[in-house]
A and B are shown apart, each in its own frame.
Chain A
Amino acid sequence: MKQLQQRHYVFIGLALVVIVTMLLPYRPEIVPSAETRRMHEYIDSLPEGSVLLISFDHEASSLPEIKPLALALLRHAFSKRLKLIGIALLPEGTGVGYGLMREAAREYDMSYGEDFVYLGFRPQYVAAILSMGESIPETFPEDYLGQAYDQLPMLNGIENYDDLACVISVADGSLTTHWVEYGHARYRVKVSAFVAASMVTTYDPYLASGQIYAMVSGLRGAAEYEKLIGIGGSGARGMLAQTSMHLYVILMIIIGNLIYFRQKQRGRG
């Protein structure tokens, strides 16, 4: 058998930390940040029947982080009786978005075509964003399941971004930037975002300038949003594992540096 190397012990340690903390019944006390509260207050302030366009701009790989974020948003929107239009600008987001909308809609007894619709995937995201600013029915003549746009009662009278309250991009990459650059800059549609934690610094300048109205980020953002809507989900469940992993990485950095300085000292000696 191949001998275990230093890095293998690091891997085993991490796996153990994550598994053990996921099994613990303890849930950390989450304090919602101002950013998450801003998004929550905005959705809360929308009158019943307002239309939100939710764009699933992510790939399947980031689902463990994106799913709690998206579900928290969908649950809140459905509980407020808002009308939701789902689309995907990346192919893999298509199946994921459809599944998540159905899951949340079932919990709130929402019916397809009247309370929510899923228009599916449109290739060439820049073209799709620009095209929807001109005409949504011409960009998506059919929904994900092949039903004609004008056969879906909820979509009556929805022509372009002027008929939407907001576009919310659920993203794990830089696609929200295109919503800002083309949707907001050209058509003045309000853009908000639920994004993976790794993208936070990318969107900070847009958030600070108001080009992104509100942003909820990462597993922590999901846990905060779950707390605000009063529904537990996988965000809060995953926070303990995330925290323990962060602590583990910090510990590795400290040990690594101690070894480094020790070796440096010996070298001098």
Chain B
Amino acid sequence: MRRRVPQLVCGLFGLLIFTLHFLTSDQAHRTYRLILDDYYQIVFAFALLVGVVSFIRVNLKAVERGKDRPYRIVSLLGLLLMPVLAMGWGIGGDSPFLWVFDNVQVPMQATVFALLAFYVASASFRGFRARSLPATVLLLSALLTLLSRSDLGGFMAEYITPVADWVRYNPSMSARRAILIGIGLGSLTTSLRVILGIERTWLGGGK
């Protein structure tokens, strides 16, 4: 029963959304809007609630155990602080909420993301080797792309950008198209399996 009901709800709504996609009557549009504007958002709110409760529980347990305590406390304080700031002083232009977002969250995330550049440099030094023919082709393509996205003015040979563009618009795009078609077909079959109840792993709990 615990698995049958969610499976039934999923199958019914899957079929409903699929059918509504092709119907053009006013009633069909109203139902579609109701599902998108209300039902989806209610489900999202509950999912968010589950996420927040789970985050608090996991971090409180870790604080008790003394594992990474300072980091966990900062995470929990952040989770509490932002809603308090938003509800207390709003989220407008000069609000403390936006100040914290602009001056704490944005620089922190940009810093972490920027670290990638260092790993890329280090990895290119240690791992990007012309060990085989495919690896050499990949390496040359990477070098061409890097050069074409740089701006060396008259120091760069004129043919580099056209050659890099050829790589981008031919082999690279062909591979990307094949991947996209594969993803599309994969999504279609997985969706059908879920709607028809053949695929049940999303329900969790083993067999």
* CA of A29 to CA of B40, assembled, Å: 49
Q: Which of B113, B126, B147 contacts A250 (CB 8 A)?
A: B147
- Whether the pair A252, B151 counts as a contact (CB closer than 8 A) is no
Residue A23 interfacial (CB < 8 Å): no
Q: Which of A30, A95, A134 contacts B32 (CB 8 A)?
A: A134
Binds B, one of A82-90, A162-170, A202-210: A202-210
Q: Which of B33, B101, B105 contacts A135 (CB 8 A)?
A: B33
Among A10, A30, A208, the most chain B Cβ lie within 10 Å of the Cβ of: A10
- Whether the pair A124, B40 counts as a contact (CB closer than 8 A) is yes
Residue A153 interfacial (CB < 8 Å): no
- With A124-B41, A134-B32, A256-B126 given, is the CB distance from A95 to B149 under 8 Å? no
- Whether the pair A205, B36 counts as a contact (CB closer than 8 A) is no
* CA of A247 to CA of B126, assembled, Å: 16
* CA of A92 to CA of B104, assembled, Å: 13
- Whether the pair B173, A10 counts as a contact (CB closer than 8 A) is no
Shortest C-beta distance, A129 to chain B (Å), equals 9
Q: Within residues 121 to 135 of chain B, which ones have a CB less than 8 A from any CB in chain A?
A: 121-122, 124-131
Shortest C-beta distance, A4 to chain B (Å), equals 13
Q: Which residues of B contact A123 (CB under 8 A)?
A: 41, 44, 48
Q: Which residues of A contact B153 (CB under 8 A)?
A: 28-29
* CA of A92 to CA of B122, assembled, Å: 30
Shortest C-beta distance, A196 to chain B (Å), equals 10
Residue A24 interfacial (CB < 8 Å): no
Q: Which residues of B contact A11 (CB under 8 A)?
A: 118, 121-122
Q: Which residues of A contact B80 (CB under 8 A)?
A: none
Q: Which residues of B contact A14 (CB under 8 A)?
A: 117-118, 121
Q: Could you list some 16 contacts between A and B, CB below 8 A?
A: A14-B121, A15-B118, A61-B109, A95-B91, A98-B98, A102-B93, A123-B44, A124-B41, A134-B33, A138-B37, A145-B90, A201-B172, A208-B169, A252-B121, A252-B125, A253-B124
Please give 18 more A-B residue pairs, beta carbons under 8 A apart, in addition to A11-B118, A253-B142: A14-B117, A61-B109, A64-B110, A95-B97, A99-B98, A131-B37, A134-B36, A145-B92, A186-B21, A204-B173, A208-B169, A243-B151, A246-B149, A250-B143, A250-B147, A252-B122, A255-B125, A256-B129
Interface of B toward A, CB cutoff 8 Å: 21, 29, 32-33, 36-37, 40-41, 44, 48, 90-93, 97-98, 101-102, 105-106, 109-110, 112-114, 117-118, 120-122, 124-131, 139, 142-143, 146-147, 149-153, 168-169, 172-173, 176-177, 180
